[in-house]
């Protein structure tokens, strides 16, 4: 492998490890929480705690990486992921009512997920690394690597969960141990081989304090519109993710079948971004690809509701790819557009704000999705269709903004 491609491979592995852990844990959290007697609100907070930390820390890590470089932040994130998943593995071996260092097991699950969220908030730093290492014409193709990593993580994460199912319903230490081991290997690999991508002289002169960095970004109409689109897209897709296990239960699918649906979702995402989007995006451009993605999601979300209404497993497998392919096309296109409109010395900070917009949506998605599902198992997906209709309008407006020649931040 050429030296120019090796750093991108390492960054890809870094993001993959983070999202593998997410894919392992997401289907397990409701079961683990119930086993340790969590209330419905505690389950929601446990699910949202990871994304809440990403919302808070993504701009911070991105901003610091603009100053000190990408490599130290990525290494810190990998080390943090190793420790958080090791903690998750350790406490998953406890029994109901066990107490360790004065905290019950449910509290330690919260600690492990909060730590994982802080460590996983380095994704915008990985995006900034890709921006540093790619030409403008290949920026969208490079950003699609994040989606490929997401897809692989969602394929293998749930499959690891399938093999860890226990007949007594108790949690298992092995999924967390696998994630921790992989994170540790990736940390050692990156420590030995990952070069710094931030070019000399491109560092930010200082780290903005308080809300000055926020106000500077929000003053740009085109950047704000891109972040609103990211928020709406992720909120719609997050409602699908967070209620999918409830939907499969509502249409009488078993535990293993539930895991296979998540793995299927990840496989579609992997194929979409790894084979389609990465090849087509440089030819079609960010705007057209985003427009196609928004149309697919707008059409796909109501069709998921239709599959839920008919309680058809076959229909669910048939229509899920529309929303997943739409998200696969939209996400890297929006990230690339955000990067291309940002100056070199502010890539980490601005991409961090973009990640925060997505993380905020992932915080709200389990709350809104579960609330709507409680009213009707069709509502999260009908609401997702409405959100994406608004998102489609926003994508159209971002294209107009690009034609008007908005200047880069900086």
User: Could you give the domains of the chain?
Assistant: 6-192+217-403 (1.20.1250.20)
Q: What pLDDT is stored for residue 251 in this prediction?
A: 84
Q: How far apart are CA 229 and CA 102, in angstroms?
A: 44
pLDDT in tens, 327-360: 988 888 887 888 777 766 666 667 777 777 887 8
Q: How far apart are CA 173 and CA 176, in angstroms?
A: 6
The CA-based diameter of the chain, rounded to the nearest angstrom, is 61
Q: What is the DSSP letter of 173?
A: S
**3-state class percentages of the chain: helix first, strand second, coil last, to nearest 5:** 80, 0, 15
Q: DSSP string spanning 188-216?
A: HHHHHHPPP-SPTT-S-SS---TTHHHHH
Q: What pLDDT is stored for residue 403 in this prediction?
A: 45
Q: Specify the DSSP element, H or E, that contains 66.
A: helix 40-68
Burial tier of 159 (Cβ tally within 10 Å: 0-12, 13-18, 19+): middle
Q: What is the DSSP letter of 5?
A: T
Q: What pLDDT is stored for residue 62 in this prediction?
A: 80
For tokens 């940390």, the residue is 187
Q: Which stretches in the chain have pLDDT values below 50?
A: 1-3, 204-211, 403-410
């Amino acid at each position: 492998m050429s030296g120019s491609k090796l750093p991108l491979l390492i960054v890809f592995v870094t993001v993959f490890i983070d999202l593998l852990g997410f894919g392992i844990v997401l289907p397990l959290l409701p079961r683990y929480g119930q086993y340790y007697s969590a209330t419905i609100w505690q389950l929601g907070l446990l699910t949202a705690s990871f994304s809440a930390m990403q919302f808070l820390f993504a701009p911070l890590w991105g901003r610091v990486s603009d100053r000190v470089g990408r490599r130290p932040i990525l290494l810190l994130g990998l080390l943090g992921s190793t420790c958080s998943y090791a903690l998750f593995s350790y406490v998953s071996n406890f029994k109901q009512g066990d107490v360790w260092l004065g905290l019950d097991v449910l509290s330690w699950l919260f600690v492990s997920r909060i730590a994982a969220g802080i460590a996983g908030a380095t994704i915008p730093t990985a995006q900034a690394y890709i921006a540093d290492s790619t030409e403008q014409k290949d920026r969208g193709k490079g950003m699609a690597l994040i989606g490929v990593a997401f897809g692989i993580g969602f394929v293998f994460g749930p499959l690891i969960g399938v093999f860890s199912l226990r007949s007594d319903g108790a949690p298992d230490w092995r999924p967390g141990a696998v994630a921790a081991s992989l994170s540790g290997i990736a940390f050692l690999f990156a420590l030995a081989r990952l070069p710094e991508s931030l070019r000399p002289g491109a560092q930010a002169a200082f780290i903005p304090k308080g809300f000055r960095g926020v106000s500077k970004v929000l003053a740009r109409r085109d950047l704000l519109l891109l972040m609103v689109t990211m928020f709406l897209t992720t909120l719609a897709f997050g409602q699908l993710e967070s209620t999918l296990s409830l939907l499969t239960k509502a249409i009488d699918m078993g535990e293993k079948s539930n895991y296979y649906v998540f793995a299927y979702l990840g496989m579609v995402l992997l194929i979409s971004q790894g084979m389609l989007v990465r090849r087509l995006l440089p030819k079609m451009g960010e705007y057209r690809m985003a427009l196609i993605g928004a149309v697919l999601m707008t059409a796909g979300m109501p069709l998921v509701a239709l599959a839920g209404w008919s309680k058809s497993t076959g229909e669910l497998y048939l229509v899920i790819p529309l929303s997943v392919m739409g998200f696969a096309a939209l996400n890297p296109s929006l990230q690339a557009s955000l990067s291309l409109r940002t100056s070199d010395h502010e890539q980490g900070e601005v991409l961090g704000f973009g990640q925060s917009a997505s993380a905020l949506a992932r915080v709200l998605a389990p709350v809104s999705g579960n609330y709507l599902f409680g009213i009707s198992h069709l509502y999260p997906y009908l609401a997702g269709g409405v959100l994406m209709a608004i998102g489609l309008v926003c994508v159209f407006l971002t294209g107009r903004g690009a034609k008007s020649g908005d200047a880069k931040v900086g």
